[in-house]
Amino acid sequence: MTTCFVEVDHIDRVFDLPNGKTYIALKNIELKIQQGEFISLIGHSGCGKSTLLNIIAGLDRASIGGVTLEGREVREPGPDRMVVFQNYSLLPWLNVRENIALAVDEVYQDKPKGERCSIVEHHINIVGLQRAANKFPHELSGGMKQRVSIARALAIRPKLLLLDEPFGALDALTRGGLQEQLMKICNDSKLTCVMVTHDVDEALLLSDRIVMLTNGPEAHIGQILEVDIPRPRQRMEVINHPNYYKLRSEIIYFLNQQKQAKKRQSQQAQNTVASISTSREGLEKVNLDIGFLPLTDTAPLIIAKEKGFFANYGLSNITLCRQKSWKEIAKGVGTGILDAAQMVAGMPLALTLGAGNKTPIPVINALNLSRNANAITLSKKLYDKGVRNLADLKAVINADVDRVITMGVVHPTSMQNLILRYWLAAGGIDPDQDVNLTVIPPMQMVSQLQAGIIDGYCASEPWNYLAVDQNIGFVAATALEIWLGQPAKVLGVREEWAQKYPATYLALIKALLEACEYCDDLRNREEILSIICRPEYLDLDPALVRPGFTAPYERADGSKPQELTAYNRFFVNKTNYPNRTEILWMMTQMARWGLMPFPKNWVEVIERVCRTDIFGAAARDLGIPDIGWDNPIHLFDGKVFNPSEPIEYLNSLEIKRQIRVEEVFI
C-alpha cells in the first residue's frame, strides 16, 4: 500500500468578521494525496480553493484540523513547497534572471555558482523567455510575468508544487507549451502537484484526480473524479480518449448543479431573513406536534420533553404523537399534521425524491437521533433446523425450494430493510427472489413471528429482544456486526417548514442535541428506562427494554449474554452529525433494489436533504464539535463503499436489480 504523502486532515477555516460574527469558508475537508500525484481543485468562485491551497502551503492555518507532508505537520512556508500565485509575486527591482536566481541561490546554497546559473538559464529556456532575461517586471506582459513565476517555482524542484491558476493569464499557445513542460517535469521527477483551476480541459489534461468543491460558505468536497487516462499524455490523445467527454460532462454537470444550488440558497436566505424579522420573541412557533414510534431509540425525544430540554429553549408546548407505523409518520409530516418526526434514516431522502412513484415532498435532515440498535431476528423453527448464521440460512432455503421464507421489514426506505437486504445478498441470497420481504410495523413483528406469518425480521429494539424473551426467535446478527455505527433514526422536517420557522427549528435541534448527550450518559440510563417505558410511550415492562440498554444482551443463539455498550448510541463519536457519505450509501442501496433510480445529480440531492449547515449552527451554539466523518464505509463482508465512485460501486455488486441512472428534479 502506498504511503500517504500529503494528508489534509478534516480541516475547517473560519474567518472572524468585523461585526463579531464568523464566516466558515471551508468545512471538514479531508484529502489524502500520494507522492507523484497531480490533484486539481475546481469549483465556483468563493468556494475556498485558494484558501485550501494556502493552508497546504503553510501560508495560512486551519482553524480546526491540520495538514501533514511526509508525516510532518505543516505550520509555516518552506522550500519543500513552492507556490505559483495568480499575481506573479515578482520583485520589481530584479530582472527575470535575478528573480529566478533569488530562489535558486536560497535553496541550492551548497551548489557551485556555475551550476546554479545553469539551472536558472535552463528554466528561462523552458518558459521561452531567453530574449527577456534581462528585463524587469514592469517591462513584461502579464503572461510573461506568470512564466517567470512558473520558472522560479520549477527551478528549485520542490517536493510539492502548488499552483493557483498558473496559466490563466497566458495565451493559448504559451499555455499549451507550459502545460506540456509541466507534465514532463512532473513525470520525470515524480513531482507532486496541487493546482487550482477554473479550466475543465486543463484539469483533465494534467490531473490524476479532480477534487470538486461545493459552494461556500462551509464549502466541502462534493465529489472526487478519477482521471483514468494513461500517462504520459499528449493533448490530442487525451481529447480522443473514449472516457474524455464522459469525464468532462461529469465535471460540468457538477458545476452547473452548484450554480443552481447557489441560486436556491440565496432565495432560502431571503426567506429566512423575512421570516425571522416577523418572528415573536425569537421563536416563530412554540407549539409543536412531533411524531414517534415506540422504540428504545425514541429516548432523546421523550427525554427532551420530560427533562425540560425543550422548555429550556422556549418550546413550551411539545406534544409527542405516538404513531402506528412509519407510513403514518411519513404521511403526518408530508401533510403538515406533524411539525417534525422521528424517521428511519432513509425516509427524508425517499420523500424528497418521491420514491415509489409518490409525489416528491422535500424533507430535510439536520440531526441524527441514534445509531445502531437494529438486529436481524430469525424464528426458533429455523434455529431448530440448524440455522445459526447466514450460510446456514442459505442452506435451508436451497434445501426446500417449495417453501418461501418470509422476512419482515419496517419500511422500504428504512436502514432495517437496506441492511437486511445487504446481509442476505452478501450470503448469496437474493432478497427479491430467494425470500419474500414484507413491510410490517415494528410493534407487530413479534406477534406475526409467533403466528408463523413471518420467519424473521429486521427491526429496532426492543422488538428483537421481545422475541428472545418469548422464546420464539433468536438474534442472528446485530447492527454492530453488520455495520458498526450505522444511522438508525433522524429528525425529519419538511424543507418548507424549516424555512418558515428557522429559529424554532434551530431551538428544536439544540434541545435534542442536549437530550442525546443526556441519553448517552450511562449513569442516566436507569432513569431514562423508567421514563420511556411509561404507558404513553413504549408501554412495556422495563425488564424487556433493559437488555442492550443497561444490561447484557441475550441473543438465544447459544452464546453468552453480551455487554453491548455501543448498541444504543445517541451522542458519542459524532452520532448526531448528518453524514453525506451515509446518505449516499443509502441512495445506492435504494437504486440497487429498484426502489428508485440513482440520481445523476446526487450531489445536489444530498446537499438539499443533508443540512450540515443547520446542524453546525446548533452545535456551535452549544460548544460541541460541528463536524463528522465522511470517510469510506466498511461493512461486515469486507466491501468498502467509496463515496467518490457510487456508480462503480453499484456496478461491482453481484446481486442487484437493473440500475437506472436518471436526473431528478427537486
How far is Cα 346 from Cα 78, in angstroms, rounded to an integer? 47
The domain boundary, picked from 92, 127, 157, lies at 157
What confidence category does residue 206 fall into, taking pLDDT thresholds of 50, 70 and 90?
very high
The domain boundary, picked from 243, 278, 313, lies at 278
Query: What are the pLDDT digits (tens) for 295-341?
Result: 999 999 999 999 999 999 999 899 999 999 999 999 999 999 999 99
In a domain, 321, yes or no: no
399-413, 439-453, 596-610, 618-632, range with the lowest pLDDT: 618-632
How far is Cα 572 from Cα 217, in angstroms, rounded to an integer? 27
- The parent domain of residue 219 ranges over 1-77+160-278
In a domain, 599, yes or no: no
| Diameter of the chain measured on Cα atoms | 93
CA atoms within 13 A on the CB side of 316: 6
Nine cell digits for residue 570: 445517541
Residues 235 and 179 both lie in one domain: yes
- Asked if the model's pLDDT at residue 444 lies above 70, the reply is yes
How far is Cα 457 from Cα 334, in angstroms, rounded to an integer? 27
How far is Cα 119 from Cα 153, in angstroms, rounded to an integer? 12
In a domain, 320, yes or no: no
Query: What are the pLDDT digits (tens) for 37-96?
Result: 999 999 998 899 999 999 999 999 999 999 999 889 998 988 888 888 777 788 889 998
Residues 2 and 46 both lie in one domain: yes
**Mean pLDDT (whole number) for 384-393:** 95
Residues 176 and 107 both lie in one domain: no
Query: What are the pLDDT digits (tens) for 406-429?
Result: 999 999 999 999 999 999 999 999
Please state, rounded to an integer, the average pLDDT across all residues of the chain.
90
Residues 111 and 17 both lie in one domain: no
Residues 167 and 266 both lie in one domain: yes
Q: Give the chain's end-to-end CA distance (angstroms, integer).
A: 41
φ and ψ at 586, to 5 degrees? -60, -40
A 10 A CB-CB count for 197 gives 22
161-175, 210-224, 307-321, 572-586, range with the lowest pLDDT: 161-175
Give the residue with greater pLDDT, 75 vs 470.
470
Give exposure, 26-58, as e/b (b: 16+ Cβ within 10 Å).
bbbbbbebeebbbbbbbbbeebbbbbbbbbbbb
What is the pairing mode between strands 38-42 and 192-196? parallel
- Asked if the model's pLDDT at residue 156 lies above 60, the reply is yes
Residues 58 and 173 both lie in one domain: yes
- The CATH number linked to 249 is 3.40.50.300
How far is Cα 370 from Cα 345, in angstroms, rounded to an integer? 9
The domain boundary, picked from 157, 185, 201, lies at 157
In a domain, 29, yes or no: yes
- Asked if the model's pLDDT at residue 2 lies above 80, the reply is no
Query: What are the pLDDT digits (tens) for 238-278?
Result: 888 988 988 998 898 888 888 877 777 676 666 554 444 43
What confidence category does residue 498 fall into, taking pLDDT thresholds of 50, 70 and 90?
very high
Residues 220 and 246 both lie in one domain: yes
- Asked if the model's pLDDT at residue 578 lies above 60, the reply is yes
**Mean pLDDT (whole number) for 505-521:** 96
Order of all β-strands in the sheet with 22-34:
22-34, 4-16, 64-69, 72-73
Taking a C-beta distance cutoff of 8 angstroms, is the pair 197, 41 a contact? yes
Taking a C-beta distance cutoff of 8 angstroms, is the pair 482, 422 a contact? yes
In a domain, 649, yes or no: no
Residues 38 and 122 both lie in one domain: no
Residues 233 and 95 both lie in one domain: no
Question: Which of 100-104, 176-180, 508-512 is the most confident on average?
Answer: 508-512
CA separation, residue 212 to residues 191, 333, 436, 603 (Å):
22, 34, 42, 11
Tally of domains in the chain: 2
Residues 146 and 174 both lie in one domain: no
Nine cell digits for residue 467: 422475541
Length of the chain: 666
In a domain, 178, yes or no: yes
- DSSP sequence for 384-397: HTT--SHHHHHHHH
Query: What are the pLDDT digits (tens) for 532-555?
Result: 999 999 999 999 999 999 999 999
How far is Cα 5 from Cα 74, in angstroms, rounded to an integer? 12
Helices marked H in 402-550: 415-426, 445-450, 465-469, 479-482, 495-500, 502-519, 525-532, 542-545
How far is Cα 539 from Cα 290, in angstroms, rounded to an integer? 18
φ and ψ at 469, to 5 degrees? -60, -35
163-172, 211-220, 405-414, 644-653, range with the lowest pLDDT: 163-172
Residues 252 and 123 both lie in one domain: no
**Mean pLDDT (whole number) for 435-446:** 96
pLDDT score recorded for residue 632: 79
Residues 61 and 108 both lie in one domain: no
pLDDT score recorded for residue 270: 61
5-14, 122-131, 383-392, 552-561, range with the lowest pLDDT: 122-131
**Given the C-alpha cell 426506505, which residue does it identify?**
413
How far is Cα 629 from Cα 9, in angstroms, rounded to an integer? 11
**Mean pLDDT (whole number) for 649-665:** 91
What confidence category does residue 3 fall into, taking pLDDT thresholds of 50, 70 and 90?
low
pLDDT score recorded for residue 311: 95
pLDDT score recorded for residue 626: 83
What confidence category does residue 142 fall into, taking pLDDT thresholds of 50, 70 and 90?
confident
In a domain, 234, yes or no: yes
In a domain, 453, yes or no: no
pLDDT score recorded for residue 453: 96
- Asked if the model's pLDDT at residue 280 lies above 50, the reply is no
For residue 113, what is the enclosing H or E element?
A: helix 113-126
